[in-house]
Chains A and B, each alone.
Chain A
C-alpha cells in the first residue's frame, strides 16, 4: 500500500516538476520573440515625434540641421546604402574566390587551417577595422591612390564624376572599402560551408564525364547552391548595412549628398553613434530613434530574405 502511495507522490512530483520546467523554458523561448518585437516597438515609439512632425518628408528630405530643428534622413540612408553596395561589389567576388579556393583548388592540408584563420578573423571587433581604416588605410589612399583615381578615372565619360573629389582619404568610398574587408570573412565562410554541402557523387559524376574544375564549380556546384549563396550574400549585406564602428571612423560624418564617392558623407549607424549621447533636444533624439527604426526595417528585410534562402538549402539537404 505504502509503496504505491510513494510512487504516486513521486509521479505527481515529477509531473509538476515537468510542468514547471516546461513553463520556464517556454517563457525563455518567447522572450526571444519579445526581444525583437520590443526593439522595433521601442524605436517606433521613441521616433514617433519625428515621424509625426515631418511625415514622409523625414525620409525624403536631405536637410539635417539640429540647430534649425530640421531633420531629414535621406543623406544618412543614402550613405548606408552606398557604402554597403560598394562593400558587396568588392566582397562578393573575392569571397566567392576564397570559397572556391578553400573547397576545390587548395591542397587539402591547406584548407582547414586557412578556413579556421578566416573564421577567427571574422571575430575581430569592428572598432579595430575602423581604427585601421582611419590611421592606416585613409592616409595611404589619400597619398597614393585617390590622386591617381582623380586623374585617371575622373576623366571618364558618364562615371567620371563618381571618382572626382578631394583626395582627403575619408569618405563614402573608403568606408565601403573598410566594410568590404570586414564582410569578406563572413561571406566567404558562409559560401564555403554552402559549397561543402554539395554531394560528392554529383561532382564526381561531372569529373567522370571529363569536366574541368571550373566547369564543375560553374555548372554543378553553383546551380546546386544558388539560393544559399544568395542567402549568404544577403547575410553579409545585413552586416554591412548595420555596421557602426568601422564606418564611423572613416566616413567623414558630414551631412552631404554628392555624386562623388570621394566626398565625406554619413550613414544611419554612424549618425546615431555620433549624435545620440549628445542630443538634448527631444526632437533631435526622436529623429535619431526614427533613424534607428528605419535601419531596423532595412536590415530586418535583408536578414529575413537571407534566412529564408539559407533555410531552403537545409530543407533540400534533408530531403536528398
Chain B
C-alpha cells in the first residue's frame, strides 16, 4: 500500500517539476525577446525626429537623417514585389490547380520549401553572379532581383495553401456551367483566396524589408540621393549595418533609429497580415 502511494507521490512530483520547468522555459524565452524589443524601443525612440525622415545620410558627427535610405528601400521592396509576386502567384496556381497530386507538383513544393528557408546570403551571391558580374556594377535592380527570390517562395507557399482551401464544389459548379478552367481560376478561385494571397504578399514584404545580407553586394549602398535603378542605391538595412558597425556615436544613433523604424514596420505588417487572415476565416465560416 505504502509503495503505491509513494509511486503516486513520485509521479505527481515529476509532473510538478515538468510543469514548473516548462513555465520557466516560456518565461526565459520571452524574456530575451522582450529585452531585444525594449532595447530597440528605448534606443530608437530617442533618435526619432523630423530630420530622420527629411534629411539625407550625413557625414560622421553631423546632423542628418535616413531619407535616401527610406526611399531606396521603398523602391527596391516594391520592385521586388512586382517581380516576385506575379511569378509566385502563378507558380502557386500551378501547384494547387494543375499539379496538385502529381510527382512534379510535390517536387516543386519540396524545392520551394527549401528555397523558403535557404540562407538569404546565398541568394545574394546568386544574383551577384547573375546580374552584378554581367553588368559590371552594383545596382538597385540587382538588389530588387535578390529580394524577389525571397518573395517568390513565400508567395508560392501561401497561394498554394490558400487555393487548396477553396472548396472543390466551387470549381465543379463553375466547370459544369461550361466556364473554361482559366476563367474559373482567375474569376472564382482567386476571389475566394484573395485574402490569403494578399496576406502572403504582406508577409513577403515584411520579410524583405529587413533583409540585409542579400543587398550587401547587389544594391550595395550610397550616401547620395539617387533614384537611378541602374546605380547603387541607399537602403535602410545596409545603412543600419554600416552605421552600427562604425565608431561614430551620431551614426550609431541613426542606426538605432533605422532599426526601430524597421521593427515597427515589420511588426505592423505582421499584425495586418494576421488580421486579414482572421477576417477572411470568420467570413468564410
Asked if A29 lies at the interface with its beta carbon under 8 angstroms from chain B, I say yes
Bound complex: CA A297 to CA B226 (Å):
37
Q: Is the CB of B216 within 8 A of A125?
A: no
Tell me the B97-123 residues at the A interface (CB within 8 Å): 97-99, 104-105, 107-108, 110-115, 117-123
Q: Within the complex, what minimum Cβ distance (angstroms) separates A293 from chain B?
A: 9
Q: Is the CB of B94 within 8 A of A29?
A: yes
Bound complex: CA A31 to CA B95 (Å):
12
One digit per residue, 1 when the CB lies within 8 angstroms of any chain B CB and 0 when it does not, for chain A 65-98 equals: 0000000000000000000000000000111111
Bound complex: CA A131 to CA B240 (Å):
9
Stretch from B20-28, B58-66, B166-174, B193-201 contacting the other chain: B20-28
Q: Within the complex, what minimum Cβ distance (angstroms) separates B256 from chain A?
A: 7
Q: Within the complex, what minimum Cβ distance (angstroms) separates B37 from chain A?
A: 7
One digit per residue, 1 when the CB lies within 8 angstroms of any chain B CB and 0 when it does not, for chain A 212-243 equals: 11110100000000000000000100110111
Asked if A50 lies at the interface with its beta carbon under 8 angstroms from chain B, I say no
Q: Is the CB of B33 within 8 A of A185?
A: yes
Asked if A254 lies at the interface with its beta carbon under 8 angstroms from chain B, I say no
Q: Could you say which of A15, A32, A105, A127 contacts B91, with CB atoms under 8 Å apart? A: A32
Residue of B nearest to A244 (CB): B213
Point out the residues of chain B lying under 8 angstroms from A130, CB to CB: 244
A17-B180, A21-B181, A125-B212 known; A296 vs B122 contact (CB < 8 Å): yes
Chain A interface main SS type: helix
Point out the residues of chain A lying under 8 angstroms from B241, CB to CB: 127, 245
A32-B115, A123-B207, A277-B220 known; A242 vs B274 contact (CB < 8 Å): no
Asked if B263 lies at the interface with its beta carbon under 8 angstroms from chain A, I say yes
Asked if B12 lies at the interface with its beta carbon under 8 angstroms from chain A, I say yes
Residue from B22, B118, B267 with most neighbouring chain A CB atoms (10 Å): B22
Point out the residues of chain A lying under 8 angstroms from B212, CB to CB: 125-127, 244-245
Q: Within the complex, what minimum Cβ distance (angstroms) separates A65 from chain B?
A: 21
One digit per residue, 1 when the CB lies within 8 angstroms of any chain A CB and 0 when it does not, for chain B 17-41 equals: 0110111111011101101110110
Q: Within the complex, what minimum Cβ distance (angstroms) separates B26 from chain A?
A: 4
Q: Is the CB of A121 within 8 A of B114?
A: no
Q: Within the complex, what minimum Cβ distance (angstroms) separates B125 from chain A?
A: 4
Bound complex: CA A242 to CA B95 (Å):
27
Q: Is the CB of B25 within 8 A of A94?
A: yes
Instruction: Using A135-B252, A272-B125 as known contacts, list a sample of 18 further A-B pairs with CB atoms less than 8 Å apart, ordered by residue number in A.
Output: A21-B185, A25-B94, A29-B104, A33-B108, A36-B114, A121-B37, A123-B207, A123-B267, A124-B36, A124-B210, A126-B210, A127-B241, A181-B36, A212-B15, A213-B15, A214-B19, A277-B216, A289-B129
Contacts from B to A (Cβ < 8 Å): 11-12, 14-15, 18-19, 21-26, 28-30, 32-33, 35-37, 39-40, 43, 87-88, 90-91, 93-95, 97-99, 104-105, 107-108, 110-115, 117-123, 125-126, 128-130, 133, 149, 152-153, 156, 180-183, 185-186, 203, 206-207, 209-213, 216-217, 220, 237, 240-241, 244-245, 252, 255-256, 259, 262-263, 266-267, 270-271, 274
